[in-house]
Amino acid sequence: MDILDLTAVELGERIRKRELSALEALEAVYGACRARDRNWNAYAAFEIDPARTAAQRAQALLDSGEAVSPLAGVPVGIKDNLNVRNCLTTCASKILRGYRAPFDATAVRKLKDAGAVPAGTLNMDEFAMGSTSETSCYGPVRNPWDRERVPGGSSGGAAAAVAARECVCALGSDTGGSVRQPASYCGVTGFKPSYGRVSRYGLIAYGSSLDQIGPLARDVRDCAALLDIIAGPDPMDATSIPFPDTRFLDALNGDIHGLRVGVPEECFGDGVEQDVQTGVEAFLDELKRVGAELVPLRLPFLRYAVPVYYILATAEASSNLARFDGVKYGFRAERYTTIEDLYTRTRSEGFGKEVQRRILLGTFVLSSGYYDAYYNKALKMKQMIMDGFAEAFRRCDVIALPVSPTTAPALGSSLSDPLKMYLSDIFTVPVNLAGLPGLSVPCGFDRRGLPIGAQLLGASGADATVLNAGYAYQLATDWHKRRPEGLEVSGNV
Amino acid sequence: MSERWETVIGLEVHVELSTKSKIFCACSTEFGGRPNTHCCPVCMGLPGTLPVLNRKVLEYAVRAGLALHCDIDRETRFDRKNYFYPDLPKAYQISQLYRPIARNGYVDIGAKRIRIHEMHMEEDAGKLIHSEYEHETYPDYNRAGVPLLEIVSEPDFRDSAEVLAYLEKIRSLFTYLGISDCKMQEGSMRADVNLSVRRAGETALGTRTETKNINSLRAIEHAIESERSRQIHILSGGGAVVQETRHWNDDLKTSTAMRSKENAPDYRYFPEPDLPVIFIGEDFLQAARDSLPEFAEERQARFVEQYALPPKDAARLTVRRETAELFEAVVSRGAEARHVANWLIVHVPHVLKTLSENAEDIAPDPSELAELIRRTESGTVSRADGLRVLEALLSTDGPFRVSDYIRERGLSVNNDESALEEVIRRVIEANPKAVNEYRSGKTKAIGFLIGQAMKDLQGKATPATVRERMEAALET
Ligand SMILES: [Zn+2]
């Protein structure tokens, strides 16, 4: 058996038992990337030297008995928007071409402290803006289940790499579904923690009030093990929240007897592909079979989520991305006359189309005369959505719904119609607006053989409850163990 | 031209807070330093960094707000002010627009009340250094992230004297609070002037301009006078003042238009998502209230009352909190208040001047200063020696005991009574004419005799002691 078919926890166990070293695990990942990644383009860069250094340090921690994490020695892919000290960190954007982070993101530092090994940076939609991973300056990522389809986005590289056995597990980021949706399209497990659970320090911001770092992995156990490492309040992030300390991996017991699972009627029916609906309904049946109680819900406010999200996220993005001006680091236009000209040319040449579109949208909704009509109204709606969920969680413990109304669309079919692409975020963005934990688990395949994902949500702070529900499901099913065929065949590129 | 005009002025004052570290990171706020050496990823705005509020800044801001009689917002928060400029690393300034920390305050200058519209916290920008040799500009981010308070007044000023008195008052309040040194020359206090004029008797406000880049009190006076004349000239000629921002050039003593209202940037303020709302609890507020010092005006009144000082002296002693506190400390150690006042107002500044030291840099031991003043004023040490000891005490020689110093250098006249007796006896013998004049009622003649004795004593006795002994000797 290929060690890259192991889960991260299994691989960690073998490393602890000295069946292989941290360095050997890293070399296996690096080898797979070298040999096969031209098929999927899942990696933005794989700088092997710093990864080897990290692996050696991890091995030393293991040898001295200091590394106690189940993931000590395990390589972890890192989305290209997380700062890894001295490594390229570019958000898949030309404007950050060649930029090397001078410090580790808190989540990355915690990985290193736990003896896990940051290994390679993963491709993504430019600045995490997109649902297809096609807007990267490194070219589109492809779906390991079907090369002509997108892997989802924005953490598409992470999801594809885990699915294609080019890495064991990864850290992505989720602003409006960017962990959960690609996990769903690629048949892997992805988790967005409660807002504030994981420090955002070192995550290059898209929408600051919505961004959250989250794991993508083979199964719920791996996600819990990663969360154990990266969670916790951080003095460097004023928005991190001191939730009561939980050992997420230890908390998984698979017992969901009496768990009340809310089923929002808005999320089943019109606009949802038949196969997706069938798959998620089977998911609900399975939860019921293993002891959960289904509670019908109405969440009428969900239909406001997409416009509210695109106002708030783009407003924050227009400000967050203003610092990329060609003055201090990254790309600068070659020819310019005045300082204004330097800004204009650098940003016009350095940002891709989708990023420019969202910066313009965000700039517009914040401009004088429109602020109240858009931004302020959206803030009020956000509060309404939070209140709506809080109300719903009085009647249930978790909420189950599809991750996306469809399975992975064909390459090139989404960008031509951005509005359609935005609307497909309907089931993921409300979760970010309300700051809730959200889990995406594979729950079947459509008639074309593409993975379907089911989503479980919890109240803010109820991350362990959500993970345990997903774990109970994975104990009873094996969708998460399915592997795309023909991974070893080198594609024609 | 005989029309009478009224000037209406509002002020936006920026004050740099004297916290040790910056507002959102741990970097030093120290002035100077080689370019870009007091910086870190956070204040350079590198991708992925986040601000974390320095609690000291909040504490200072609340105390400042209370000193300005403002309402403190119990749910204050930060906003982003977006604009592009190379000295602004994130391309936005973290400031406060929607929920400033303080509102609705006032400052009294004499009998006049200046209302404060609001006061808020924000971060300073860096500065640009233009190369003299090449066509290049370099940003220096040492100042980026230094905490500022901006105090926005209502348009309550009518002339530059009021403006200066107001700035002086803020300086006094903030230095008493110990939250800023408020030095305009070093840029730790800056003021923008909003000014309009109207014909006397009119109640509606005229169109105003805002003048920036004013870096001294003198410049404020000039800038106000210049802008006032410019607007009156326009209006008298039937023209209209354009609402605009103007840039003061202190060398030319004139301002030029920077941008009009139409070209004013749209800052697209919105709540800073990286910093949560700050809830100010009653305990925090009460602690801030309790920490407010007795300010200059109250203290001045008390000095007049308690120490029977002339109001003018009390005013001079209370300009700086340190001086006022030193005064009371010395008095409490047994020196007489009017003597201490005299020393602190006259002698200390004089000695500091000869030493070219700053008053801020010295902190003499109050007990030793009390000892010195007592000895000198009682005449056991001559005034000339007393001042020499003061000089030693204020110079950076290090601490010493005044009594030891006097003994070691033989400055005290106490222990050489016989020498004094001897000299007086000799002077009386050698000057019978003056002695007779004195004894026949021309008491002024004693001055000559004292002078002779002082010459013989080579300054080793105080004139007061010599006079006392001389009178006694002449009586017998
Ligand atoms: Zn700093």
A334-361 confidence digits (pLDDT tens)? 999 999 999 999 999 999 999 999 999 9
> Reduced to 3 states, what is the DSSP secondary structure of residue B191?
strand
Ramachandran angles phi, psi of B109, nearest 5°: -115, 105
Q: How many domains does chain B have?
A: 3
Confidence of residue A491 (pLDDT cuts 50, 70, 90): very low
Between residues A125 and B403, the one the model is more confident about: A125
Tell me the percentage of chain A whose pLDDT exceeds 90.
94
Q: B234: helix, coil or strand? A: helix
- Which is nearest to B470 in space by CA: B440, B426, B415, B437? B426
The pLDDT of residue B92: 98
Q: What is the pLDDT of residue A62?
A: 95
Reported pTM: 0.90
Percent of chain B with pLDDT over 70: 96
How many CA atoms does the CB half-sphere of B376 hold within 13 Å? 22
Model pLDDT, residue A1: 59
Residue B420 or residue B48, greater confidence: B48
Same domain, B270 and B338: no
Higher-confidence residue: A477 or B457? A477
Interface residues of chain B, partner chain A, Cβ below 8 Å: 41, 44-53, 80, 82, 84, 86, 89-92, 139, 266, 268-271, 273-276
The mean pLDDT value for A375-379 works out to: 97
Task: Report the C-alpha gap between B356 and B303 in whole angstroms.
Answer: 29
Q: Tell if the CB–CB gap between A319 and B139 is shorter than 8 Å.
A: no
Cβ separation A322–B53 shorter than 8 A: no
pLDDT for res B439: 87
Instruction: Choose the closest CB to A322 out of B50, B91, B275.
Output: B91
* Element spanning B423, H or E: helix B417-430
For residue B407, the model assigns a pLDDT of: 78
Q: Among this protein's residues, is A154 annotated catalytic?
A: yes
The reported pLDDT for the residue numbered A295 is: 98
Which of B229, B263, B287 is where one domain is finished?
B287
Q: Which domain holds residue B442?
A: 417-475
Collapsing DSSP to helix, strand or coil, B182 comes out as coil
Tell me how far apart the alpha carbons of residues B184 and A87 are, in angstroms, rounded to a whole number. 44
Closest partner residue to B84 (CB to CB) among A202, A343, A379 is A343
| Shortest CA gap A117–chain B (Å) | 20
Do both B399 and B435 map to the same domain? Answer: no
Q: Do residue B198 and residue B226 come from a single domain?
A: yes
Evaluate whether residue A38 is within a structural domain: yes
Domain with A18, as residue range(s), is: 3-264+393-481
B258 and B365 both lie in a single domain: no
Q: What is the DSSP letter of B344?
A: I
Report d(CA A156, CA A185) in Å as an integer.
9
| Residue A143 binned pLDDT confidence (cut-offs 50, 70, 90) | very high
Based on the fold, state whether residues B278 and B385 are members of the same structural domain: no
Strand order in the sheet with B92-95: B92-95, B79-82, B270-271
**Minimal C-alpha gap between A147 and chain B (Å):** 32
3-state secondary structure chain A: CCHHHCCHHHHHHHHHCCCCCHHHHHHHHHHHHHHHHHHHCCEEECCHHHHHHHHHHHHHHHHCCCCCCCCCCCEEEEECCECCCCCECCCCCHHHCCCECCCCCHHHHHHHHCCCEEEEEECCCHHHCCCCCCCCCCCCCCECCECCECCCCCCHHHHHHHHCCCCCEEEEEECCCCCHHHHHHHCCEEEECCCCCECCCCECCCCCCCCEEEEEECCHHHHHHHHHHHECCCCCCCCCCCCCCCCHHHHCCCCCCCCEEEEEHHHCCCCCCHHHHHHHHHHHHHHHHCCCEEEEECCHHHHHHHHHHHHHHHHHHHHHHHHCCCCCCCCCCCCCCCHHHHHHHHHHHHCCHHHHHHHHHHHHHHCCCCCHHHHHHHHHHHHHHHHHHHHHCCCCCEEEEECCCCCCCECCCCCCCHHHHHHCCCCCHHHHHHCCCEEEEEEEECCCCCEEEEEEEECCCCHHHHHHHHHHHHHHCCHHHCCCCCCCCCCCC
Is residue A176 a contact partner of residue A129, using CB atoms and an 8 Å limit? no
CA B140 to centroid of ligand 1, rounded, Å: 13
pLDDT at residue A398 is higher than 70 = yes
Å between A437 CA and nearest CA of chain B: 19
Q: Let me know whether B89 and B212 are in one domain.
A: yes
Quick check: is A426 in a domain? yes
Residues B369 and B459 in one domain: no
Q: Whole-number mean pLDDT of chain B?
A: 91
Tokens standing for residue A294: 């289904």
CA of residue A347 to ligand 1 center, whole Å: 26
Domain membership flag for residue A399: yes
Catalytic residue among A131, A178, A424, A460: A178
In this predicted structure, what is the pLDDT of residue A490? 52
Do B306 and B278 share a structural domain? no
Residue written as tokens 């003021």?
Answer: B191
| DSSP E strand boundaries for B325-452 | none
Q: Radius of gyration (Cα) for chain A, nearest Å?
A: 21
Catalytic residue check, A79: yes
Q: What total of structural domains would you count in chain A?
A: 1
Residue of chain A whose Cα is closest to the Cα of B44? A328
Query: Are residue B346 and residue B465 in the same domain, yes or no?
Result: no
CATH number at residue A47: 3.90.1300.10
For chain A, first and last CA: distance in Å? 28
**pLDDT at site B415:** 44
Is B212 in the same domain as B358? no
**Are residues B150 and B269 both part of a single domain?**
yes
Element (H, E) at B5: strand B5-16
- What is the model's pLDDT at position A89? 98
pLDDT band at A47 (very low <50, low <70, confident <90, very high): very high
Element (H or E) spanning B373, and its range?
helix B366-378
Interface of A with B in 172-201 (CB under 8 A): 200-201
Phi-psi sector, A369: left (phi>0), alpha (psi -120 to 50), beta:
left
pLDDT of residue A493: 39
Which residues have CB atoms below 5 A from the ion given as ligand 1?
B 25, 27, 40, 42-43
Q: Give the Cα-Cα-Cα angle B239, B244, B250 (nearest 5 degrees).
A: 100
pLDDT at B396 over 70: no
Which of A203, A325, A371 comes nearest B48 by C-beta? A203
Distance A416 CA to ligand 1 centre (A): 43
Give the domain-ending residue among B287, B313, B335.
B287
Last residue of a domain, one of B245, B261, B287: B287
Give the domain CATH number at B449.
1.10.10.410
Taking only the tens place, the pLDDT of each residue in B78-132 is: 999 999 999 999 999 999 999 999 999 999 998 999 999 999 999 999 999 988 7
Answer whether residue A356 is part of any domain.
Answer: no
Q: Is A69 in the active site?
A: no
CB nearest B50 (choices: A237, A368, A379): A237
Band (pLDDT 50/70/90 cuts) for residue B422 is confident
CA–CA min distance B191, chain A (Å): 26
In a domain, A363, yes or no: no
Of A58-67, A438-447, B392-401, the poorest mean pLDDT is in: B392-401
CA angle B473/B474/B476 to nearest 5° reads 70
Q: Quick one: B237 and B318 in the same domain?
A: no
Residue-wise pLDDT tens digits, A293-338: 999 999 999 999 999 999 999 999 999 999 999 999 999 999 999 9
Q: What is the mean pLDDT of chain A?
A: 96
